[in-house]
Amino acid sequence: MQIPLALQFVNLLASMLLLIVFAMLAQRRILSLINLFAWQGALLALSTFVVAYTTAQHHLYYSAALTLLLKVIVLPWLLHRLIRKLNIRWDVETLLNIPTTMLAGIALVIFSFNLAAPISQMSQGITRGLIGIALASVLLSLLMMLTRRKAVTQVVAFLSLENGLFFAATSATQGMPLVVELGIALDVLVATFIFGIFFFQIRETFDSLDITHMEKLKDD
Partner 1 sequence: MNNPHLILAVLFQLTQLLLVVLAAPMLTGWVNQCQAWLQNRSGAGLLQPYRVLNKLFHKDAVIADNASWLFRITPYIVFACMWLAAAIIPILAVDLPFSQAADVIALVGVFALARMFIALAAMDIGTSFGSMGARREMLVSFLAEPALLMVFFTASMISHSTQLPGIVEALAHHQFVLYPSLAFAGLAFVIVLLAENARIPVDNPSTHLELTMIHEAMILEYSARHLALIEWASSLKLFAYISIGIALFLPYGIAEMGNWAGLPAAIVLLVGKLALAGAALALLETVSAKMRIFRAPEFLGTAFLLAVLGLLIHFLLGA
Distance (Å, whole) CA 140 – CA 5: 28
From 69-77, 85-93, 128-136, 180-188, give the range in contact with partner 1 by CB under 8 A: 128-136
Find out whether 95 and 145 touch, Cβ atoms under 8 Å. Answer: no
CB of 208 to partner 1, least distance (A): 27
Note whether 102 binds partner 1 by CB under 8 A.
yes
Residue 197 phi/psi, 5-degree rounding, is: -65, -40
Distance (Å, whole) CA 5 – CA 115: 27
Instruction: Using CB under 8 A, pick the residue from 15, 32, 123, 205 that binds partner 1.
Output: 15
Which is closer to partner 1, CB of 109 or CB of 202?
A: 109
From 88-96, 97-105, 185-193, 209-217, give the range in contact with partner 1 by CB under 8 A: 97-105
Find out whether 76 and 115 touch, Cβ atoms under 8 Å. Answer: no
Distance (Å, whole) CA 76 – CA 82: 10
Q: By CB neighbour count within 10 A (0-12 exposed, 13-18 middle, 19+ buried), where does 91 fall?
A: exposed
Which is closer to partner 1, CB of 13 or CB of 151?
A: 13
Note whether 109 binds partner 1 by CB under 8 A.
yes
> Footprint of partner 1 on this chain (CB under 8 A)?
1-3, 5, 8-9, 11-12, 14-16, 18-19, 22, 26, 98-99, 102, 105-106, 109-110, 113, 116, 129, 132-133
